[in-house]
Amino acid sequence: MGAETDRATIARLYAAFGECNGAAMTACYAPDAHFSDPAFGDLHGGDVGAMWRMLTSRATYLKIELHEHEAGALD
């Protein structure tokens, strides 16, 4: 993926998050994705999408704003 494609994916992810659309968020992740944070620990593959679908299905009010972002190669 190039930086432009990565930036577009990030924008789609946050737009879907703002719409509480866990299915659309899941579509932004590769099948072998890895996600880690203090609340959910280390998640891999389908568990990443399951987390977003669960969180967004329970949201009653959610406001997400992505003001700026960058994309590039992972170190």
> What does the pLDDT look like over 50-60, one tens digit per residue?
999 998 998 87
Among 32, 30, 35, 69, smallest CA distance to 55 is for 35
Q: What is the mean pLDDT of the chain?
A: 84
| 35 assigned to some structural domain | yes
| 38 assigned to some structural domain | yes
Residue 32, domain extent: 3-58
33: phi then psi, degrees, rounded to nearest 5: -60, 155
Q: Is the pLDDT of residue 68 over 90?
A: no
Q: What pLDDT shows up at residue 66?
A: 66
Q: How many domains does one find in the chain?
A: 1
**23-27, 36-40, 60-64: which has the minimum mean pLDDT?**
60-64
pTM, rounded to two decimals: 0.76
